[in-house]
Structure 1
Amino acid sequence: MSSTTRSKSHVSVLTSAINPLANPRGAKKLCELCQNLAYLQCTKCRVTFYCDTEHQQADWVGIHEKICQLLIPIRTAMPFHSLQADRDHHRAQILHRQEELIEISRAVAQKKLFEGKYQESLPAAQLSLRCAMDVYGPSAVQLVPAYLLLAEANVGLGSLSQAEGYLSQAEWTVMKTPECSHTVRHQLHRNLGRLYTATENLEGALLHFANDVASTWHSHLTKLLETHTPGSMTLEHSFDEAQQAEADQMLRAMLKVQESSPKQATAQNTLVAHSLAMLWFLGGSPDKALEFGRKALQSSQLVPDHSLTEPIQGLLQLAAERGPHLTIAS
């Protein structure tokens, strides 16, 4: 039986079995998708509600079919426990299930986005966001991946104002969270680039795509440096001389643009300068590594996020100790 057939069958069971007035007195039930007043109940888990059959079917196809039974312990009232240890154990179990639900719904949304099923991805992305809010609070950086999923889905659907709203929330959260990972920042820049492309703001799109590229290079070079050992020539397995020159030219151009514009974040200057320092250190040019490493260190001291300061200082020490014997493989 196809998922569509199963969905219609499930809706039929739901609508024939549920009295619109059957909700307990005094307890308002809200639709899983739109948060409007709900009149229908899932007949399988009995803890999920909908305003109409259209939203029930959309949720079933989008995510509910996969997590229906997982919702029961999470959304059922906690049983009475006389001992505090039992209450704590129960809360820990619920928290674990909520975290599991965040990851499942996020993975489902990502898969559907990859397949181009933008509308179907929305229920899973929305569930991931709501669960993350329940677990981490309404302003936590852990909400950003769900915001980005929702933004990507809405860009795909042409709902650009909604996408912009989600990206604004994500950007604001990242800005106030200095310890936010570079992976999340990289994903944010990529989604902002897509939004600005869709709105024909090409200058903004180029800026964010450039920041996305810079984050990718920084991550790649960091991994190379972590596997680098004294006397080895790491770059011979990753770059040739022309590729190193191309990377240097691109990163220098980004740094020049960022340094010439007062609007550019110093954090990005740090990222690009550190990338250049790693590139030239791995390429066997400790003098250039020192030059860009000092720029990176200076920039890192001007921003709240000091996560790169220690790696930059370590690279400067290595470059200062390294002699001229390293050369890039031809």
Structure 2
Amino acid sequence: MSDVAEFTLNLQVLQVQGLGRIVQAEEYLCQAQWTVLKSTECPYATHSLLHRNLGLLYMAKENYEEARYHLANDIYFASCAFGTEDIRTSGGYFHLANIFYGLKKLDRADTLYTKVSEIWNKYLNNHYQVLSQARIQQIDLLGKRFETDTGLDEAQEAEAIRILTSIWNIRESTSDTAPQKTIFVLKTLVMLYHLMMNSSKAQEYAMRALDLAREQQLSDQEQNSIQDLLSLISAEDAHPVT
């Protein structure tokens, strides 16, 4: 295994384990940074992963200027590797938003939280549409149903839950002035849990969205769209996968 490949694997492990041991993490990431910088074959995705972990490290150390620098590089390299609107790029936006939120730069944080929510919403809805079409074709051909899934691995599902739940918690504090933003995140969580086949969680978030829409007297169109989500969940629960 090459040095870069080994560091890529270890960076992924470090990202999962967290950055609780700051000194150890800093020493390791400095070595990783040197290895990546001197390599001529290092893929953009590895650069992104390195800078994201460095950004998280400096956030833990409360060195927000350095953290912003590395997260900006994370976003750049992730965009080169996957595109600016990819869920794998969204983590950089999310962590950068957290920095702005902590620094009370709320407009910048809001813009980035909105972008992250939209990226995940688009991914989940597009994935659901693909599954729905495949399911229709399979029912027509075989009389069976496809199993619903997210198209994500376990770590990505955990990241999606963590990111979207965090944004929802922040949105809740402003739900009186911007209820649509809160409902948008809730509807995204509904789709995520629905695709994960966790119908109880999907229904819970859908009901939260519906209650908020009614409380804030939002349009019939908005309330109906949430009702449609609830109907979708109920209908698919009534016809379990075979």
Instruction: State whether residues 196 and 205 of structure 1, in contact with CA within 8 Å, keep that contact through their aligned partners in structure 2.
Output: yes
Relative to structure 1, the CA distance from residue 180 to residue 117 in structure 2 (aligned partners, 3 Å threshold; closer, same or farther) is same
Root-mean-square deviation (CA, aligned residues, Å) is 3.9
Q: CA deviation at 1:202?
A: 1.5
Is 1:213 the counterpart of 2:176? The answer is no
Query: Who is 1:243 aligned against?
Result: 206
Q: Distance in 2 between matches of 1:245 and 1:158?
A: 34
Query: Who is 1:100 aligned against?
Result: 5
Residues 13-60 of structure 1, C-alpha deviation per residue, up to 9 Å, x if partnerless? xxxxxxxxxxxxxxxxxxxxxxxxxxxxxxxxxxxxxxxxxxxxxxxx
Query: Who is 1:126 aligned against?
Result: 30
Q: CA deviation at 1:192?
A: 0.7
Q: Distance in 2 between matches of 1:161 and 1:187?
A: 18
Unaligned runs of 5+ in 1: 1-95, 251-279, 285-326
Residues 201-228 of structure 1, C-alpha deviation per residue, up to 9 Å, x if partnerless? 1221122222222333333334434433
What one-letter code is carried by the residue in structure 2 that aligns with 1:204?
R
Written as runs of structure 1 = structure 2, the 5 A alignment for 1:165-204 is 165-174=69-78, 179=83, 182-204=86-108
SS at match of 1:227: helix
Instruction: State whether residues 147 and 166 of structure 1, in contact with CA within 8 Å, keep that contact through their aligned partners in structure 2.
Output: yes
Instruction: State whether residues 105 and 124 of structure 1, in contact with CA within 8 Å, keep that contact through their aligned partners in structure 2.
Output: no
Please tell me whether Structure 1 or Structure 2 has the larger radius of gyration of its CA atoms: 1
Relative to structure 1, the CA distance from residue 130 to residue 221 in structure 2 (aligned partners, 3 Å threshold; closer, same or farther) is farther
**TM norm structure 2:** 0.51
What one-letter code is carried by the residue in structure 1 that aligns with 2:104?
E
Instruction: State whether residues 82 and 89 of structure 2, in contact with CA within 8 Å, keep that contact through their aligned partners in structure 1.
Output: no
Q: CA deviation at 1:127?
A: 2.9
SS at match of 2:104: coil
Q: Which has the higher contact order (CA 8 A, sep 6+)?
A: 2
Q: Distance in 2 between matches of 1:205 and 1:197?
A: 5
Relative to structure 1, the CA distance from residue 226 to residue 169 in structure 2 (aligned partners, 3 Å threshold; closer, same or farther) is same
Residues 246-272 of structure 1, C-alpha deviation per residue, up to 9 Å, x if partnerless? 49x99xxxxxxxxxxxxxxxxxxxxxx
Relative to structure 1, the CA distance from residue 116 to residue 216 in structure 2 (aligned partners, 3 Å threshold; closer, same or farther) is farther
Q: CA deviation at 1:154?
A: 0.3
Task: Give the % identical residues.
Answer: 8
Q: Distance in 2 between matches of 1:244 and 1:218?
A: 21
Relative to structure 1, the CA distance from residue 187 to residue 241 in structure 2 (aligned partners, 3 Å threshold; closer, same or farther) is closer
Query: Who is 2:174 aligned against?
Result: none
Residues 173-212 of structure 1, C-alpha deviation per residue, up to 9 Å, x if partnerless? 4556674671331111111112112322122112222222
SS at match of 2:20: coil
Is 1:157 the counterpart of 2:61? The answer is yes
Q: CA deviation at 1:166?
A: 1.2
Instruction: State whether residues 44 and 80 of structure 2, in contact with CA within 8 Å, keep that contact through their aligned partners in structure 1.
Output: no
What one-letter code is carried by the residue in structure 2 that aligns with 1:159?
N
Q: Distance in 1 between matches of 2:47 and 2:19?
A: 23
Q: CA deviation at 1:133?
A: 3.4
Q: Distance in 2 between matches of 1:212 and 1:188?
A: 9
What one-letter code is carried by the residue in structure 1 that aligns with 2:94?
R
SS at match of 1:328: helix
What one-letter code is carried by the residue in structure 2 that aligns with 1:183?
I
The number of residue pairs the alignment matches comes to: 160
Written as runs of structure 1 = structure 2, the 5 A alignment for 1:17-56 is none
Q: CA deviation at 1:169?
A: 2.3
Q: CA deviation at 1:241?
A: 10
